[in-house]
Chains A and B, each alone.
Chain A
Amino acid sequence: MKFNLFVLPFTIGLVVLFCILIAKYVRWFLNLNPEQRDSVKKNFLTIKTLSGLKEILLESLLHRNISKKNRLLGYMHMSLAFGWFLLIIVGHFESYSYFKTAMEPPYIPIFLRYFQQDALADPLQVVYWFVMDFLLLFVLSGVALAWYKRQNQKRFGMRKTTRHLPADRVALSVLWLIFPLRLLAESITSALYGGGSFLTSGLGSLLENNIATNLSFVASWWAYSISLGLFFICLPFSRYMHIPTEVILIMLRNWGATKYSGKIDGITQFEVHSCSSCGICLDSCQLMELGHSNIQSPYLFRNFRANRLTDQEVQNCLMCGRCETACVVGIKTNSARQAIRHNSSAEVNHDYLRHVDTSFNSSPDVLYFAGCMTHLTPGIKKSMQTIFKAAKINYALADEDRNICCGRPMMLSGLADQAAAMVNKNKELFEKSGARTLVTSCPICYKVFREEYNLDIEVIHHTQYIDRLMKEGKLDLVKSEEHVAYHDPCELGRSSGIYDEPRNIINSLANLNETPANRELALCCGGSIANIILTSHEKKELALSALEKIVPQNTETLVTACPLCKKTFVSTGKSLKIIDIAELVAENLTVGQTSRKFGKFQKVESASI
């Protein structure tokens, strides 16, 4: 039996690692909700498993998404992950070719140069030596880049990189040590016993005269084994937990089991542990501008894992979703944060909602739910009413004098269960109206009606609705020569994927100047109701900074499609016409269609609200 005491640290580390991983994963799998578990069962033996494996190869090993962000950064991750993976695989093949058995203990292929020191007659051995040296060099280049990145992250396309906890630093240092120690051990072996290829044999001949002794030979193999063992033991308690977890997350995602339940469940655990704290998302966070630099998603997830969450990480977030777009692992940062915020025991008393009258006098075809924020920007509501009248739609206002909140602000605060009273009341209101279409002006309401209400009637945002009316030829509009910019609201764009309808409308009414910060890269206005911590000054600062980046030169008007964005931008006092898309449409209706023509350069509703 091939054995030496020095393999013990590695072997013990590996066994401990597997025990902890299995214990954790079993617990999280049991925490999946029935719906998630069903979709795993349903899709397990389908083509989806194969596409999952392909994604694992592309993402976990080749790191394609990171390469898209920055090629050097992608190479660094690929050389470490794919290089190490190949070292293990090729090591197993090499071991098999020497010992003709696949049942060797796991340490044999890892420490193969120790157990097979002598040169064999087999010509394949030279090829293996060359390949293994080449792979080791490949991994070492990644380690060198990783070390260099700690000092110069800007070269890797990152302005900021994450600050780590002590456990992560230990794991990082150990990881960086593993491959130089392997190089040292193999080189000393080569110096004493021969063998090896260009790298280990080359370095070996340099070490031959002074360093390569029997003592340093044993010590270097011990050191290599200890570094591996330490890394394995650190792994489940550090950010390197992402290595095995991301593989499982990719499979779960392909099996369609990653729908969030709103609470901390198995999926939340898998997603949170798949975050590697790489920090690629940090630059996308607008709160960095305000100096809030320890509350971003990697810090939230890290502190969740370490069980040391503070109020700041949990609450101080705009939930704009920019980090979700930037995330190379594809973690649903917003849903995870909402799950972490979830608090089913919080005490509320919304019994008074019982008394709200939900009866309807008319039987409308279309129900218009303005939403709380639209009531504070009445220009939008009036414009929508003008549009409805111009298109001769049989509509009714759902929340004119009895407006209840849609419930989303409460859900975003983690009180999803408590929002049920509002949801039920609004549902009752919608159902009693008999309408077939529900139009809303507020993307916040739109998202929650669509995703949480399970309504039988069609839910549509006013940008989609106006676009439809225009396509049906129900609106008689004139195109102006105005140059406008469009701001994608977070909840409408990134969150609901509506980018084209507002652009269709604007293109047929004015000249649209696109900004670089558009579509999924759009900025948050700063007014987000998801953040309960920011002061009014900070919100204003964010709004001003966003305006500066959003509005291109030679633009007279900023058009948006969210009452909250409009309100936030207008209250900065910036001298710019800021209107909602509904107002733009109402302004451009021909006189024949509206009795209430908006003055074009009056800076109407925007300034007076």
Chain B
Amino acid sequence: MNSFGFEIQKDNTIEYDKNDLSLAAFVLKHEPSLYNCIQCGSCSGSCPASAISSYQFRKMQLLMRRGEIKNLREDVAHCLLCGKCILVCPRGVNTRNVIRQIRIALNMN
């Protein structure tokens, strides 16, 4: 088959009823500033880890809040904790504590 340079994407159904939302609830409880997130992506835009790896804070927290936490452990391990994302966040989300709370919830600390 000819390759046209694009592929068929897999269905992306978010199974809110089946997904595990407890982790998101834990993180939001301990760092409620994440509720303020407007998904602008400034964090990922400034992130030195995002520039050279697949890690993106915006995507990671979005997936977490949907309960799609399969790759969360691997994602959060990429963070360098440099704190640029905190400084650029227009909504004052304490991103570093979000990372820390995820790490606590996943027993990574």
Contact = CB atoms under 8 A, between A and B. Distances in A.
Contacts of B92: 535-537
A355 B52 contact: yes
Interface string A400-418: 0011110101100101000
B78 A352 contact: yes
Interface stretch (A68-76, A95-103, A215-223, A372-380): A372-380
Interface string B36-60: 0000000000101101110100000
Contacts of B55: 352
Interface in B84-109: 84, 86-89, 92-94, 96-97, 100, 103, 108-109
Interface in A544-595: 564, 567
Interface stretch (A167-175, A247-255, A342-350, A457-465): A342-350
Contacts of B78: 348-350, 352
A559 to B, nearest CB: 20
Nearest to A422: B80
Contacts of A343: 109
A353 interface: yes
A349 B52 contact: no
Contact of B52 (A352, A409, A537, A567): A352
A409 to B, nearest CB: 5
Given A346-B108, A348-B77, A532 B82 contact: no
Given A347-B77, A352-B78, A409-B83, A376 B88 contact: yes
B75 to A, nearest CB: 9
A350 B81 contact: no
A375 B87 CA distance: 11
A534 B109 CA distance: 20
A86 interface: no
A529 interface: yes
B84 A375 contact: yes
A356 interface: yes
A533 interface: yes
A533 B53 CA distance: 27
Interface string A368-405: 00001101100000000000000000000000001111
Contacts of B108: 346-347
Interface string A349-368: 11011011000000000000
Contact of A415 (B73, B81, B89): B81
A535 B33 contact: yes
Nearest to B91: A536
B83 A536 contact: no
Contact of A533 (B87, B89, B97, B109): B97
Contact of B82 (A405, A534, A536): A405
A529 B85 CA distance: 11
Give the interface centre of B82, B88, B92, B103 by most chain A CB atoms within 10 Å.
B82
B7 interface: no
A452 to B, nearest CB: 15
A91 B96 CA distance: 60
B39 to A, nearest CB: 18
A350 B49 CA distance: 9
A532 B87 contact: no
A44 B48 CA distance: 48
A404 B84 contact: no
B74 interface: yes
Contacts of B49: 352
B107 to A, nearest CB: 9
Contacts of B77: 347-350
A350 B79 CA distance: 8
Contacts of A534: 94
A402 B81 contact: no
Contact of B80 (A405, A527, A533): A405
Given A346-B109, A349-B78, A376-B84, A532 B96 contact: yes
A404 B74 contact: no
User: In this complex, which of A349, A350, A355, A532 has the most chain B Cβ atoms within 10 angstroms of its Cβ?
Assistant: A532
Nearest to B92: A536
A292 to B, nearest CB: 15
Residue of B52, B83, B84 with highest tally of chain A CB at under 10 A: B83
A376 to B, nearest CB: 5
Contact of A405 (B48, B86, B87, B89): B48
Contacts of A373: 84, 87
Contacts of B51: 402-403
Contact of A532 (B52, B93, B94): B94
Contacts of A376: 46, 84, 87-88
| Highest count of chain A CB atoms <10 Å: which of B49, B81, B88 | B81
Interface of A: 343, 346-350, 352-353, 355-356, 372-373, 375-376, 402-405, 407, 409-410, 413, 415, 422, 527, 529, 532-537, 564, 567
Interface of B: 33, 46, 48-49, 51-53, 55, 73-74, 77-84, 86-89, 92-94, 96-97, 100, 103, 108-109
20 contacts: A343-B109, A346-B103, A346-B109, A352-B53, A356-B52, A372-B82, A372-B83, A373-B87, A376-B84, A403-B51, A405-B81, A409-B81, A410-B80, A410-B81, A410-B82, A422-B80, A535-B33, A536-B33, A536-B93, A564-B87
Given A350-B78, A372-B48, A532-B100, 15 more contacts: A346-B103, A347-B108, A348-B77, A348-B78, A352-B49, A353-B52, A372-B84, A373-B87, A376-B88, A405-B80, A405-B81, A405-B82, A410-B81, A529-B96, A564-B87
